[in-house]
Amino acid sequence: MNKQQLMDLYFLDARARLIDIAAFLDRIERAEGTEDFRMVAFRKAVGVLSAGNKQKAREVLMSFSDPTDKPIEKAHSKGACGAWPGEVKS
Amino acid sequence: MVSRTTDDYIKMVTAGCAAVCEPAFWAGFDRSSAQGFYDYFCQLTEHEPKRAAKFGLPHFTWLCINPKESEDVKLAEDVLAIIPQFLDKPNVLGIGEIGLNKNSRNELKVLEMHVDLAARHNQLILVHTPHLEDKLKGTKLIIDVLKNDKRIQPERCIIDHVEEHTAKLAHDAGFWAGMTLYPETKCTAARAIDILEYYGTDRIWMNSACDWGISVPLAVPYAALEMRKRGYSADWIDKVVYQNPIAFMKQSPRFNLPES
């Protein structure tokens, strides 16, 4: 598909998702309290969108990922929260 | 499918699904003993195939203790000890979904035990890669384990739940790559097609999830519709959603579909 066809197919959906992200940021900033590591990672990932990289989805995923390469001592939970909190001492 | 209703079977058959392949999975809670897994494996190899057959859907399965329950190594050892008695059941395709969840030392040890079990019994391997922030590191650790066991043939392993940052890792190492389509996490249909455009259609498939959380059993048929919107030919779509899974699973002598 060419750019025109892809825009015809996906523009409105992407526009809606972008507005959702903007509204999410507004919602967070209106609320009381402090942001944690997840929002630090989120804002960094948003920055990827306006960079010149040709694989933005990959770069966004990389920015949320644990960059270390050694197994952790013990799994203290089963879930993932979506962003790497940094090194956690066991 | 053990957590889904018969309505899902009806929808899948109506949408043209030719078979269902169900990996052993975390139940949403930890089982308290190996006996609980024995019952689960009976469900996967005896009861669920009968339930699926009522809707004309062949049912295949994979056996393991899921990485989410792999922190308890003693329990894992007990569960692995009972798996061989199920490996000759007619719907068992191999060992899976094994892998990592939080990338811990014990999870890694249990993964190595599963890989050894698969190698000793010449089984196909289905690998679960971790969620979200843990996926990149976990995928690298899993590939290291598989590559370090010289008995393992990469073309007989599929590394599942790949995304844009891990698909190339799995593919370049010679493994099959699976893209699991979910509405909220993992991969959407549009992104899965993007990944196919980056890396091609060899040794890659996509699958729907049918678990106890938010998931869409018809995700693959919906992805086929998305491919049609993107202008792909019927042959291209058929290769990705049908021929590729068959090519991988046909490596098991137990994977046979009735003549259509």
Nearest by CB: A61 against B137, B165, B231: B165
pLDDT for position B260: 59
Q: Average of pLDDT values for B66-74?
A: 96
Which CATH number is B132's domain given? 3.20.20.140
Closest among B124, B180, B134, B132 to B157, alpha carbons compared: B124
Tell whether A12 is covered by a domain.
yes
Alpha-carbon distance of B210 to B12, in angstroms, equals 11
- pLDDT level of residue B157 (50, 70, 90 thresholds): very high
Query: pLDDT averaged over chain B?
Result: 96
Domain holding A1, by residue range, is 1-33
Tell me, what DSSP letter sits at residue B159?
E
Q: pLDDT of B19-28, one tens digit each?
A: 999 999 999 9
Tell whether A90 is covered by a domain.
no
pLDDT for position B54: 97
Residue contact B231–A58, C-beta within 8 A: no
User: And the tokens for B125?
Assistant: 């391997």
Question: What's the number of domains chain B is made of?
Answer: 1
Closest among B198, B189, B201 to B227, alpha carbons compared: B189
Place of tokens 């059993």: B217
Alpha-carbon distance of B10 to B187, in angstroms, equals 25
Region of B230 (left: φ > 0; alpha: ψ -120 to 50; beta: rest) is alpha
Tell whether B69 is covered by a domain.
yes
Residue contact A72–B108, C-beta within 8 A: no
Alpha-carbon distance of B240 to B235, in angstroms, equals 9
Rounded to two decimals, the ipTM of the complex is: 0.94
Alpha-carbon distance of B160 to B235, in angstroms, equals 24
B99 Cβ under 8 Å from any chain A Cβ: no
Q: pLDDT of B35-58, one tens digit each?
A: 999 999 999 999 999 999 999 999
pLDDT for position B212: 85
Closest among A38, A82, A71, A64 to B102, alpha carbons compared: A71
- pLDDT level of residue B184 (50, 70, 90 thresholds): confident
Whether residue A43 sits in one domain with residue A64: yes
Tell whether A89 is covered by a domain.
no
Whether residue A29 sits in one domain with residue A52: no
Whether residue A63 sits in one domain with residue A48: yes
- pLDDT level of residue B259 (50, 70, 90 thresholds): confident
Whether residue A16 sits in one domain with residue A38: no
Tell whether A78 is covered by a domain.
no
Tell whether A64 is covered by a domain.
yes
Nearest by CB: B132 against A74, A78, A80: A80
pLDDT for position A89: 53
Task: Give the minimum alpha-carbon distance from A30 to chain B in angstroms, rounded to a whole number.
Answer: 25
Nearest by CB: B132 against A57, A77, A82: A82
Whether residue A1 sits in one domain with residue A28: yes
Q: pLDDT of B95-128, one tens digit each?
A: 999 999 999 999 999 999 999 999 999 999 999 9
Residue contact A71–B71, C-beta within 8 A: no
Q: Which of residues 40-79 of B touch A (CB under 8 A)?
A: 68, 71
Tell whether B1 is covered by a domain.
no
Tell whether B45 is covered by a domain.
yes
Give the Cα-Cα-Cα angle B200, B202, B208 (nearest 5 degrees): 90
- pLDDT level of residue A87 (50, 70, 90 thresholds): confident
Question: What's the number of domains chain A is made of?
Answer: 2
Whether residue A54 sits in one domain with residue A39: yes
Tell whether B257 is covered by a domain.
no
Could you give the count of Cα atoms lying within 13 Å of B58 in the half-sphere of its Cβ? 14
Tell whether B254 is covered by a domain.
no
Place of tokens 């024995």: B38
Whether residue A22 sits in one domain with residue A42: no
Q: What is the largest CA-CA distance in chain A?
A: 52
Contacts of A63 in chain B (CB under 8 A): none
B231 Cβ under 8 Å from any chain A Cβ: yes
In sequence order, the β-bridge partners of residue B23 are B62
Contacts of B101 in chain A (CB under 8 A): 75, 78
Q: pLDDT of A23-71, one tens digit each?
A: 999 999 999 999 999 999 999 999 999 988 899 999 999 999 999 999 9
Whether residue A27 sits in one domain with residue A1: yes
Q: Average of pLDDT values for B165-173?
A: 97
Residue contact B71–A9, C-beta within 8 A: no
Task: Give the minimum alpha-carbon distance from A6 to chain B in angstroms, rounded to a whole number.
Answer: 8
pLDDT for position A90: 47
Tell whether A86 is covered by a domain.
no
Tell whether A85 is covered by a domain.
no
Q: Are A24 and A35 in contact (CB under 8 A)?
A: no
Domain holding B153, by residue range, is 6-249
Tell whether B137 is covered by a domain.
yes
Nearest by CB: A9 against B101, B191, B229: B229
Alpha-carbon distance of B203 to B21, in angstroms, equals 17
Tell whether B218 is covered by a domain.
yes
Say yes or no to pLDDT of B232 above 50. yes
Task: Give the minimum alpha-carbon distance from A56 to chain B in angstroms, rounded to a whole number.
Answer: 9
- At B105, which helix (H) or strand (E)? helix B105-120
Tell whether B73 is covered by a domain.
yes
- pLDDT level of residue B186 (50, 70, 90 thresholds): confident
